[in-house]
A and B are shown apart, each in its own frame.
Chain A
């Protein structure tokens, strides 16, 4: 099961660890088991003071589990943690905070109805009993100035974009005077510019004497900003590297244990026939503010149109409007020439529209249902799955097993509860359900968020297959690499508008980044 570690890597690790200083953090032989799964099987992690240390590995390699142990959220089954040379027991976040360890969580630990300042100081308000809002905001502002991180302290979390929410997470940690900062997949939701800004912050923190652990699977980022690298694979140490002395291929190989596939070159399959036409589309957000302000967009048969943009600029609302989940206040949407502007999801889907929502756990799947039951979601009242309103259990089970096999769901058992599957396999269930009906149009949001490399490759291949079949695809993603790799054309959304639509060939990362940040003039350059 578990690939043997190459000798060479071990040697590398040994030489690097032999630094004269006492390491700031030493985790040795950490083990953790969840039921059947040995999540960590004797992992070591050594972090020196003042460095940026990358912790890389695929999803499920154990990175987050290891960090949750360091932060006291999980208790290890075995192993020791030494901090500043002293053995410590971390039984909860309080212990970690007291030691000077702070964590910027991947799923932000922010309370949506509270303000930025309230979230920053929560649990360490330094005052009271009365809540002195002004004093708190003052303190947060001072902190922001010191580290050059700017967010309006009186804004509510639920009103600000994810990029800013992440800054709040960083501020929270800095506010507590943490010396060791753990960043868990910090760039997943950021634009390239925001990533650059984050790295400026990260380097500045290092200059201030902070130590950082960066959990990621994006190699470019690892190479750009870190000093040393620990690679995990399947719950074990796969490599210890020094950033300056390695390259992307070496890290990737250590992560995956094999060479990566290249995406196949694509033949142009696009016809001129538009399948989706959106004109002057307007809609409101959940809070009643304008979310779409006149969107025009066309997707043709056999074409992938990518929608790039910083999260929260109307992409989700756009997808929901197409599907009929959100009322359209102005404008029209047609699919294959038929007006679907006011159609409910059921009728929209009947016209051959498939939808892969961005949050598969909440929107895509009914988690407590089995794989087979999730495969028929939306088809539960049609033959062959139902006759006269009565479910055809046999047909459901049979097709469930077939689809689970076809789409490589693991375990390949349609009776498994979907909630217990990994993210990648959950996404396969959604994708399998949606493309098994041979749709004419697929609206797909964040198709590979949280997936490991193999699953990402799998999803991309399937999408290209659909494109080749002549299906139109509207691809919404915050992963620019993904958009650029798959799209024929790229539309950039900013504040509820499509500010530019570029051919893939013209869409350089810089240009997209500028457009995403609202610099519309970039399109003309």
Chain B
């Protein structure tokens, strides 16, 4: 039981879900505006690399967060120009940017650090909630989570409110559902989409920053390992809402945590091979979507370039 729902597993779930949730939030905001951003993976990689680089060179973890975020935003800006202004195929552009990000970060990583890794890098601290120490389970789960884990949770709420309880969120959704209607009432579709794409890059980059500046303290080539794509799936799974995306990320994170905690466990004489344990998060996600979520409808204008008429 401890292995399935112990505080350790649930705490790990939160940690593993965090980078995915960041990417998924990025996905939610950009797709709600009508732009698919398959380059979340690349933005995340940018955040991871430039975050740790900044932490190492400036010695300041908060500054690292900022620079990592900016790096992701810059990459997303390329996507915005290509897909909003040039109306290029958003998927091809995204794939190209993923290749670009892998190339740039791997190149710089090798040029700057060679075969070594930076050491003594300041990392983002955990938020130690000592008053929870005595509380069983809860203390173990959230007593010592990193500030970025908390930031992710806060951002989920903020973005949920932003999207459904603010004027700007209303406009964002209108642009993603019916850009022409938005255009006819004077909402600048392009500008809205630009901001949304930029924000998605920044958010995904925070997921990358979490991986390096909060979680592990070093960068290795391609260390995001597809989390941007998982985030994309979590966004769809969560029906394009921030809270839904978080739930989806948590389910995936839980599967991931299980794949670690169940290592070495045998059921009777049957020992589950470790490689098969690693399939848990993926299968769990498919099962969860098939079982509970089912059909989900993307924003009506998602992925469709908008061209105001007559120009």
Contacts and interface: CB of A to CB of B under 8 A. Distances in A.
Interface of A: 68-69, 71, 73-75, 92-94, 97, 103, 105, 108-114, 118-119, 122-125, 127-131, 172, 176
A362 to B, nearest CB: 13
A92 B181 contact: no
A226 to B, nearest CB: 24
Interface string B231-267: 0000000000000000000000000000000000000
Contact of B183 (A93, A112, A118, A125): A93
A218 to B, nearest CB: 24
B211 interface: no
A92 B190 CA distance: 13
A95 to B, nearest CB: 9
B33 to A, nearest CB: 13
B178 A123 contact: no
Question: Chain A at the B interface: mostly helix, strand, loop or mixed?
Answer: loop
Contact of B173 (A111, A123, A129, A130): A111
Interface in B162-205: 164-171, 173-174, 177-178, 180-187
A128 B178 contact: no
B269 interface: no
A131 B165 contact: yes
Given A74-B310, A172-B185, A118 B170 contact: yes
Contacts of B309: 68, 73-74
A69 B171 CA distance: 24
Contacts of A176: 185
B85 interface: no
B310 A73 contact: yes
B60 interface: no
23 contacts: A71-B184, A74-B309, A75-B310, A92-B183, A105-B184, A109-B178, A109-B180, A109-B185, A111-B178, A111-B181, A112-B300, A113-B177, A114-B170, A114-B173, A114-B174, A122-B181, A123-B186, A123-B187, A129-B168, A131-B165, A131-B167, A131-B169, A131-B170
Contact of B185 (A68, A73, A124): A124
Contact of B167 (A92, A103, A113, A129): A129
Contacts of B310: 68-69, 73-75
Contacts of B174: 111, 114, 122
Given A103-B184, A114-B170, 11 more contacts: A73-B309, A74-B309, A93-B184, A97-B185, A97-B186, A108-B181, A109-B180, A111-B173, A122-B170, A123-B171, A131-B167
B271 interface: no
A170 to B, nearest CB: 14
A124 to B, nearest CB: 7
| Residue from B168, B178, B300 having most chain A Cβ neighbours under 10 A | B178
A475 to B, nearest CB: 31
A127 to B, nearest CB: 7
A524 B146 CA distance: 75
| Residue from A68, A69, A114 having most chain B Cβ neighbours under 10 A | A114
A115 B149 CA distance: 34
A113 B173 contact: yes
A69 B309 CA distance: 10
Given A111-B178, A114-B174, A128 B167 contact: yes
